[in-house]
Each structure stands twice: as structure tokens, then as C-alpha cells.
Amino acid sequence: MQSVSTWRRSPLKAATKGRGVQPRCQRLHVRCNARTGCNLPTKQIGIIGSGSVGSAIASSLIHKNIVKNIYMNDINHEMCRGVVLDLEDEAFITGTHVHHTMAVNELRDCDIIIITAGAKQKPDEPRNNLIERNAIIMKNILVHLLPLKDTCIILLVSNPVDILTNIVQTWCEDFMDRSRIIGSGTYLDTQRLRVALSKELDVSVNSVHAYILGEHGDSQVFARSVSRIGGSPLTNFPEFTQQKLYDVEDEAKGKAYEIIKRIGATSHGIGECVASICESIILDKNEVMSVTSYHPKYQTCIGWPVVIGANGVSRVMPLDLQQDDEDRLLRSVEVIKEISADVVQNINLF
């Protein structure tokens, strides 16, 4: 017969007693439930824009099971409600709840606010052509969204993401620390590059450490001088001729256009990337990710590897770029600076 003391012991303590195992609630920064075990996320995420990208992000977040509530908002309420109903069918097996909100200001208590709303990019349209339309959309969102709680992080996905992140940081400098306003940046581009490099050598993508820097767009830079595969520089691989590296760079840069040409928009890749950024924030994983954030050397927001944790960006990683990479990056930086300055001058937040 089971003793009373054993019967009353919580499943958590019983499972970890004497094993030196850290409780899951401490490892994953979630709320402890002594009866059912530590499996209850507490964070809340708001997603503004419930189109293909917003819904893909929500789907990826649901499968990661790291948030308690996802709040979806869109100017098209009927579509948003339909997306929420569909996501509810996907979320039934996890602890995540998906909700439809009628107003942007209902998201003010969220821990992370993801903004995907914006005009769609047309086939073969440069991302920078979207800037004026999407800057106005961003202004209309922020006017109703601010102020936010001190611990909130804004994650921008709308394009052109580097320029919009720059603009939002400028507009919100009196409301939020810039380390809490980030963009998805070149994170997806970096993953595309790593996949392309891994295919060339038939190695695991996890063994490839390479980055796309600068603009998430036409002036992005493949930082060859700091790229490594299994710790070895690219120059150690005879397969990577100058022409082959240009081909790999073009493949990574042009993949979005190929997807848009065929199905109208990219969604699955960016959905998983944004969910991974959220995971690093929520679980305070301090992962190095090439997102858009303020770089003090270049005095603007660019795609660059930084440490992402519970407080947003905690460190800008140092990279020893060779002169060719640096020159190309400076051209990309100038593109971002020039367009951002024009928009900030022409459009005021209040």
C-alpha cells in the first residue's frame, strides 16, 4: 500500500528527487503547476496582420508550445476571425490559446508584439518600393498601440524591415529602449545561405556558420570573410571558387523572388524564423541571430548577428570583416540610412 507521504508528493518533486534535475518551469521560464507538472507557458504574444505571414508565425508558435495566448489582429476582421478559428483547430493539442482582437490597443499587455501588417510585395518589385505605403501603415498602428508595458518587445516583420525598424526606433525613442525594438532582418536570408552552402559540401546545415549582413533586400551582403564550415574558412574548400560563391549568394538573395513568383508570398520560412526569435526571447536562450537592430558603429539599424534574450538585444557581436565585405556593407548601410531619413522627415508619428 502506498504511504501517505509518497501519495501526497507532487509529481514534479517525485520525478526529480535525488537526480539533480532542474524543474522544467525553471529551465523554460514557465509557471509551475504542481498537480500536472511544469508545462504551462505564461507569455502572451500579439500578432498584427493575420495574412499568410502572420498566420504562419502563429502556427509555428503553436507547435513550439511556449506561449499561453496568441492574440491576432487585422484590419479585415472577418478574415482574422476565420484565421483564428482555423488556428484553434491546430492548437487543440497544445496549451496555446488563440484569440481574435478587434482593436490594436487590446495588445498593450502582450510580452511580444509582432507586426506583419503591410502592403504585399508584387512580383519582381524591389522591397524599397513598399516603404511609403508601409510606413503609413506602421504609423497608424503605433498611434493606437503606444504606450506599452516596460518589458514588451516589438518585433517587426513588415518590409522593408530594416528601414521600418529604423523608423519605428526613431518614432518610439521616448517610449521604449531601442534594444526592445527589433526586426526579423537577415535571419531568414542567413538560413537560406547556410542551406545553400551545406548542399554544396553535403554537410549538415548545423555545421555551417555564415551570415548575410546589412539590408534584408537587394543590397544584402554575404560576409564571406567571417564564414566558417566546421570551423574552417571558405577559402579552405576548393569547391568554393569565386564564381561559385557568387552563385550561392545569388541563390540565397533570389529565393524570395522565386517563391513570390510562384505562389505570391513567402510564409513558412519567415514563420519559423520569427517563432525561433520569440523562443529565444521567451526562454531567455541568448542565441546569436542575424536580426535587424541598432548598430552603434554604423549608427543605424541593419541585419547583424546579435544576442537575443528576455530583454531583447543584449550584445552586438563583433565581426572582423575584410575590406571587401566592409565596403559592400557600407553601401548597404547608406541605402538604409538615406531612405529612413527621408521617411522620418516626411512622416511624423504624432
Residues tagged active-site: 216
Query: Within its chain, how far is the Cα of 212 from the centroid?
Result: 15
Distance between CA atoms of 188 and 272, rounded to whole angstroms? Answer: 9
Nearest to 306 by CA among 197, 213, 241: 213
Residues 6+ apart with CB under 8 A from 173: none
How is residue 96 written as a grid cell? Answer: 496555446
How is residue 212 written as a grid cell? Answer: 548575410
* 3-state DSSP assignment of residue 332: helix
Residues 6+ apart with CB under 8 A from 308: 182, 277, 280, 281, 285, 286, 287, 288, 289, 291, 314
* Residue 290 one-letter amino acid: S
Q: Phi first, then psi: what are they for 18, rounded to 5°?
A: 75, 0
Tell me the HSE value of 110 on the side-chain side, using a 13 A CA sphere: 28
* 3-state DSSP assignment of residue 126: coil
Burial of 204 (0-12, 13-18, 19+ CB in 10 A): exposed
Cross-strand bridge partners of residue 302: 293
Integer distance in angstroms from the first to the last C-alpha of the chain?
Answer: 71
* 3-state DSSP assignment of residue 216: coil
**Strand stretches in 220-299, DSSP E:** 221-222, 228-229, 232-233, 287-295
